[in-house]
Amino acid sequence: MSQPFIAILMGSDSDLPVMKSAITVLRSLDVSFEVKISSAHRTPSYTHDYVVDADQRGAVAFICAAGMAAHLAGAVAAATTKPVIGVPIESSLNGLDALLSTVQMPGGIPVATVAIGKAGAKNAAYLAAQIMAVADSDLAERVRLDRAASATVVIEKDQALQAMLANGEV
C-alpha cells in the first residue's frame, strides 16, 4: 500500500476555483493528496473505478465537490467505506440544490457535508486532515499549530480594532 493520501474528486473543472481552497489547506499541512475531475453522471464508471483503486492504494478519506444535482459524494460513498466529505458547489440556486443533494443521504451511507463554496472546501480539507491525524501524531500537531495560528490572527485583528476605537478612528 502506498503512502496514505486524501482523494479529492470534483464533478467538473468549473469546480476547481472553489476547490483550490482545499488544495491550499492540504499543502499547508503537508498532507498527501490526489485531485481528479470525475462526474457521477457524465463518467459514472470512471468515478467508480477510481474510487475502488484509490481505496485499495491507501486513500484515507475522499473529498467530493459537485454542483447542481450534486450526487458525486453519494456515488463515492456507495463505493467505499472510507469517510466521504461532500462540498456543495454554488453553480445554480445559490448552491442550495447542491447542498440538499449532497447532505440528504439515506441511512447507512454517510456523507459528511460541509458548507457551500470556499468555506466548505477549506473545512473539507481540515476535516480530512483531522481524520488522517487520528493515526498520525505529527500531523495532529501540525493541525493543532494551524488552529493556534488562526486564533492568533483573530486576536491580533481584535487588538487592532480596539486601538482604532481608542483613537476614534472607528
Q: Which positions touch ligand RP5 (CB under 6 A)?
A: 11-12, 14-15, 39, 66-68, 89, 91
- What residues contact residue 94 under an 8 Å CB cut-off, 6+ apart? 116
Smallest gap, in angstroms, from Cβ of residue 147 to ligand RP5? Answer: 30
Cell of 128: 480530512
Residue 95's H or E segment, with its range, is none
CB of 90 to ligand RP5, least distance (A): 9
Measured from the CB of residue 27, what is the shortest distance to ligand RP5 in angstroms? Answer: 22
Q: Enter the DSSP assignment of 88.
A: E
**Residue number with CB closer to ligand RP5 (63 or 66):** 66
Output the smallest distance, CB 3 to ligand RP5, in A.
28
Cβ proximity to ligand RP5, 91 vs 123, nearer residue? 91
Q: How would DSSP label each residue in 42-78?
A: TSHHHHHHHHHHHHHHTEEEEEEEEESS--HHHHHHH
The answer to whether the CB of 18 falls within 8 A of the CB of 128 is: no
- For ligand RP5, give the closer residue by CB, 67 or 117: 67
Sign of the four-CA dihedral 55, 58, 59, 61: positive
